[in-house]
Chain A
Amino acid sequence: MAALLSLGACGRGESTAEPATGEGGPAFGDTLVEAAIGDISGLIPNITSDSASHDIGNLIYSNLIRTDKSLRLEGELAERWEISRDELTITFHLRKGVKWHDGEELTAHDVDFTYRYMIDPKTPTAYAEPFRQVRRAEVVDRYTYRVTYEKPYAPALLSWGIWILPRHILEATWQAGVDLRTTRQNRHPVGTGPYLFREWRTGEKIVLEANPDYFEGRPYLNRVVYRIIPDQSTIFLELKARNIDRAGLTPIQYRRQTDYSAFRSAFNRYRYLANGYAYLGFNLLDPRFADKRVRQAMAYAIDKHEIIEGVLLGLGQAAAGPYKPGTWWYHPDVKPYPFDPARAKALLAEAGWKPTQRDGILERDGKPFSFTLRTNQGNLVRQQTAEIIQRRLGAVGIDVKIHIVEWAAFINTFIRKRDFEALILGWGLGNDPDQYDLWHSSKTGPDELNHISYKNPRVDELLEAGRRTFEEARRKAIYGELQEIMAEEQPVVFLYVPETLPVVSSRVRGIEPAPAGISYNFIKWYVPANLQRYTR
């Protein structure tokens, strides 16, 4: 699935000597400099939700379980785990001898502390839900931890991909009622991960250093520096000047601004599907959109390929449903709606929307079909998508106005209050097919994620059933049916799955693109000794 596009490995006499073939093998040393668009919000990732602090958290902390290169579960701190016959109980067996960065040993008590912290109502976390499903949690012995669920709960395993926090540092403070955000751990964390925390200069940089005692072996790259650069074009200039070793490109940068030989010899560019999708959502409480035919009509009226070609410059795929293509739960026979304006018009006519002589806008009961499409400011791709949709829907007689709203106002004024007609947004997905929170009819409260107010009894049943078994074949069938229903129903118009476009300095070796992306084997990345750039 992941395509490695350009490998401009051979050096072209630039200022620094670039790779000649036949250089040395894996070597320790060098620094990898990355850019983050905003400062991180803290170093206890369990209570943050920005992606930069999660990326850094992943290097400092470890999880019980993680996903491997092909997105299958594998043990990290847990050596192995067992699921009981009734699928209610999971027993984790921890690796022995894993040390916190301060030398203490990690035990099941740390896992238990993390669990208790997650379910505390005072903990400001967005990831508490799966842990609230636990009925009983027990430390069996120093290296064994057992959780029992009320009902079988398939997303449980993945939820133990939570960052395990050090009990010996935090427990007493937490018991005393101190908000952990104000503790030293949030600025100077102690973890068990491959990198030690070294320094965080607010708004400037975060520096991590290889953990020589990491339980999977010392990472090759000696240091990782995250430079905070709040401007996208500055990041790009720093990248071109080779002061940054790793960054993500926009489609236009990928296609038009980095496709020259000097850049291609200095960097390797990668592209693979992102784990998420963009959609055109409707407020289904609005009777116009509650009619399935209207939604289907819009899916036919919009040319997804035109959006992908025009806005993403071809760096994406048309979305057929709410899952990323290539995952084991993806239903390959469900196809995206083809572009068919005639079909769209027929469906709208069937739903009672008739053309009038005037401006060509459809009417029903004397009211023109007109709505406002909202999306957030600062996302050019979404804004341009909105404009293309506006034109295509205009062509079938639907009048669309576009309203671009600043993000905080967008979320609080329009989405939370359900005060919108239509919107363009994207979902970032997890590595489990469970999407209970997005589509279940019980999840329509103001702060819940089913903000389009989708209600379908069969979908509810499937979402519940999908959570209640760990068996892959059964889950595949359940989520397969879910995808068929969603394709028919079009609760939202699924637009596209964008591609992630990372670049990494070509002096870095050991990168093996896989369905999981490139970061999964970060500790195996290395710079051959003769190419190392930062010697201190």
Chain B
Amino acid sequence: MLRYIARLGIISTLQMLAITILAFTVIHLAPGEPIVLQQDLQARATGAQRESLRQLFELDKPLYVQYWRWVNRLARLDLGRSFSPDGRPVWDKIRERIPITLSLNLAEICLIYLLAVPLGVFAAVRRHSFFDRLTTVFVFIGFATPDFWLALLLMILFGIQLGWLPISGLRSLNWEYLGLAAQVRDVASHLVLPIFIGAFGGLAGLSRFMRGSLLEVIRQDYIRTAQAKGLPEHVVLYKHALRNAILPIVTLLGLSLPGLIGGSVIVETIFAIPGMGQLAVQSVFARDYPVVMGLLAIGSGLTLLGNRLADVCYGIVDPRIRVARRSE
């Protein structure tokens, strides 16, 4: 077992190195260098200090030197300082945004799984029924609707026409003056639309996936065996079929781990939520390399971790995999 873990560790480290080397190169290949984001050139501003900034940021060094320094810092868990004019440590910039994006995404994922799994199961069980057709229609609408468009429509409906929900942001301006219960309610009402929009597309996809997976399993021999030996239908379905059908869904859950802190660019931008997605986009446009690389390192680290976790979870849900690994 120890050897197994050690091997996993080495492989993961190598994978991580490969990913970051690739990312580092690609980012620096993109034309442009760190700049302040603004659209108009100001006649008053002269850019004489650019060379000194290049030196300060070590952009005048060869790429492999820059990478080497970056990895060295990373090994000491130091992500460096942002190139943007605030010059703050990258980790600070990321850290203050993680809770926001994380809770938003957790809520989204819970909502997706809570709704998509039953939806998919019912659609599979009552295949070709009215309910199945209805979910099919819903799914295609979900796939086809651009999030930003739906978001704007809902903002107009609930924010302006009905006035039930706030349009954007995380909390009201008078939030500090509210009582605790009111504060919670305030944040919750701000999050209704973003969570719904974030979950909408995923819901469609996952429920379809669940349905397909269950249909696939129902056709298997062991289900027929279970039915043949006279087990009640619900036992066949929910004990024998569902446990097998849910396996791929668990994989997806593992893979969604990096997405948890990834943040949806569209949702965060349109709803003005200061999360990771916003940070990622802004730093890419401003060519803020340390922040981009920091986000990438965390993202890829979590992807690798997610894969490993999915492996472990497989073992829990499916004894065959556990046994195979033990005999290795």
Contacts and interface: CB of A to CB of B under 8 A. Distances in A.
A447 B47 contact: yes
A5 to B, nearest CB: 24
Contacts of B275: 203
A125 interface: yes
Interface string A170-210: 00000000010110001000000000000001111100000
A237 interface: yes
Given A186-B86, A534-B174, A234 B278 contact: no
Interface stretch (B9-17, B28-36, B105-113, B203-211): B28-36
Contacts of B36: 41, 48-50
Interface stretch (B129-137, B252-260, B282-290): B282-290
A234 B156 contact: no
Interface stretch (A86-94, A310-318, A366-374, A422-430): A422-430
Contacts of B167: 234, 237-238, 241, 243
A129 B85 contact: no
B317 to A, nearest CB: 39
Contact of A182 (B37, B87, B168): B87
A409 B84 CA distance: 16
A234 B173 contact: no
A426 B93 CA distance: 32
A426 B53 CA distance: 25
B21 interface: no
Contacts of B272: 204, 227-231, 234
B43 A430 contact: yes
Contact of A42 (B48, B52, B85, B93): B85
Contact of A234 (B39, B48, B270, B274): B270
Contacts of A39: 274, 282
B33 A128 contact: no
B44 interface: yes
A238 B168 contact: yes
Given A38-B37, A413-B31, A425-B41, A447 B86 contact: no
A428 B32 CA distance: 22
A379 B38 CA distance: 11
A55 B168 CA distance: 23
Nearest to A435: B43
A49 B155 CA distance: 33
A515 B51 CA distance: 38
Contacts of A121: 49, 52
B156 to A, nearest CB: 7
Given A237-B155, A409-B30, A49 B38 contact: yes
Interface in A439-455: 447-449
B86 A428 contact: no
A240 B52 contact: no
Nearest to A132: B48
A233 to B, nearest CB: 6
B159 interface: yes
A408 B45 contact: no
Interface residues of B, dominant DSSP: loop
Interface in B155-169: 155-156, 159-160, 163, 166-169
Interface residues on B, range: 35 or more
B33 A427 contact: no
Contact of B32 (A127, A412, A536): A412
Contacts, number: 178
A237 B41 CA distance: 29
B54 to A, nearest CB: 10
B220 interface: no
A410 B48 CA distance: 19
B43 A437 contact: yes
A225 interface: yes
B46 A181 contact: no
Nearest to B32: A408
B42 A181 contact: no
Contacts of A241: 159-160, 163, 167
Nearest to B45: A126
A485 B40 CA distance: 25
A231 to B, nearest CB: 5
Q: How large is the interface on A (under 10, 10 to 19, 20 to 34, 35 or more residues)?
A: 35 or more
Interface string A33-52: 10000110110000111110
A429 B285 CA distance: 25
Interface in A149-180: 179
A26 interface: no
A107 to B, nearest CB: 27
A265 to B, nearest CB: 16
Interface string A399-442: 00000001111111100000000000111111000010110000
A406 B85 contact: no
Contacts of A379: 39
Interface string A212-236: 0000000000000101111101100
B152 A237 contact: yes
B170 interface: yes
B32 A413 contact: yes
Contacts of A127: 44-46
A136 interface: no
Contact of B169 (A42, A123, A204, A407): A204
Given A33-B173, A126-B42, A202 B85 contact: no
Contacts of A227: 169, 272
B78 interface: no
A276 interface: yes
Given A412-B32, A427-B40, A447 B48 contact: yes
Contact of B84 (A41, A129, A536): A41
B88 A536 contact: no
B152 A41 contact: no
A38 B282 contact: yes
Interface in B227-267: none
Contacts of A231: 269-270, 272
Interface string A251-267: 00000000000000000
A352 interface: no
B43 A412 contact: no
A124 interface: yes
Nearest to A376: B39
B85 A407 contact: no
A409 to B, nearest CB: 4
A181 B87 contact: yes
Given A225-B173, A227-B272, A203 B97 contact: yes
Nearest to A425: B41
Q: Most chain-B Cβ atoms within 10 A of its Cβ — which of A38, A234, A427, A534?
A: A234
B177 interface: yes
B319 to A, nearest CB: 47
Given A38-B282, A126-B46, A428-B44, 15 more contacts: A39-B274, A49-B36, A50-B37, A126-B44, A128-B48, A181-B87, A186-B86, A228-B274, A237-B168, A407-B35, A412-B31, A429-B43, A448-B47, A448-B48, A536-B174
28 contacts: A41-B86, A42-B85, A50-B38, A124-B52, A124-B53, A126-B49, A127-B44, A129-B46, A181-B85, A225-B173, A228-B274, A231-B272, A234-B155, A234-B270, A234-B271, A234-B272, A237-B160, A240-B160, A243-B167, A407-B37, A407-B285, A408-B32, A412-B35, A413-B32, A426-B39, A429-B43, A435-B43, A438-B43
Interface of B: 30-53, 84-88, 93, 96-97, 152, 155-156, 159-160, 163, 166-170, 173-174, 177, 269-272, 274-275, 278-279, 282, 285-287
